[in-house]
Structure 1
Amino acid sequence: MEAIKIKRELPDDSVKYAQQHLANERTYLAWIRTAISIAGVGFLTTSLHFTIKISSNSNINTLAIFLGIFACVVGVITGVLCTIQYTRKRREIQEGLFIPSNHSIIFVSILFSLLIFLIFMYLSFLLFNS
């Protein structure tokens, strides 16, 4: 018996931009991991603060709760923005365009900076009010 080879014709564009699509997917997955990590920082900070009972100061307790909620919100926003960017870049790759994404990167950087500032404030209050 002779094997019959069936050659499937692929559209030229799907092969032409395969590397760009794979890079786009890797970038998307890296941002998703980042979003999960940020939300995890929020859960970890809040749960450790109240499990270990680090402080009984109501201001520090409020800051710990706010830090946890803010980290989760930043994680969700990062996940939503990276999904929007992934779909936008996918369309741009298919159309053969390159449009840099400045606004979302600046926005997420500002949110990260605020989160780091809140963590710094939390640790400062713990050290100086204990």
Structure 2
Amino acid sequence: MSLEENNNLSPFKPNDHLANERTYLAWVRTGIGIMAFGFVVVKFSLFVKQIGFVLQTQVSTPSHRYSSMIGIILVAMGTLAILFAFLQYRKTEEQLKSGHYKPTTLLTTLLTGVIFLISILLIAYLLESSL
């Protein structure tokens, strides 16, 4: 029996596992991007305050510290996205090894919902700070 025939009989196909790894790495990049955006949101309000201090002018910023809260939430969501991606990667790996793969959209749905919610918060913050 050739190697190709053996791969066709086995549930352990390299291409499936490589695709699983690529998906995991894409989720890791997404999580890092979300964390970086959260970091920028937190540091931007600090930058605005510092630039006002340097220019010795009063810079108008909302005092509710929404940017810090939203930034911290984004960093936490990026961290959770990476954690859930790892758990999904391991689950998919086990399913591929056993030959009983069952796709799920839980991670995608959860992350989309949370990012949508944070986007609404960012819009509200921007509207409040621009008035």
Q: In structure 2, what is the equivalent of residue 5 of structure 1?
A: none
Q: In structure 2, what is the equivalent of residue 18 of structure 1?
A: 14
Residue 97 of structure 2: which of 94, 98, 103 is its match?
94
Matched, 1:111 2:107: no
- Structure 2: 5+ residue stretches without partners: 50-58
Taking structure 1 as the reference length, the TM-score comes to 0.80
Taking structure 2 as the reference length, the TM-score comes to 0.79
Alignment of 1:3-42 (within 5 A): 12=6, 16-42=12-38
Structural RMSD (CA): 2.0
What is the CA–CA distance in structure 2 between the aligned matches of 1:110 and 1:79, rounded to whole Å? 16
- Structure 1: 5+ residue stretches without partners: 1-8
Structure 1 runs (4+) greater than 6 angstroms displaced: none
What is the CA–CA distance in structure 2 between the aligned matches of 1:73 and 1:111, rounded to whole Å? 11
Paired positions, count? 116
The one-letter amino acid of 1:49's match is S
Q: In structure 1, what is the equivalent of residue 61 of structure 2?
A: 56
The one-letter amino acid of 1:27's match is T
Please tell me whether the aligned partners of residues 63 and 122 of structure 1 are also in contact (alpha carbons under 8 angstroms). Answer: yes
Matched, 1:81 2:70: no
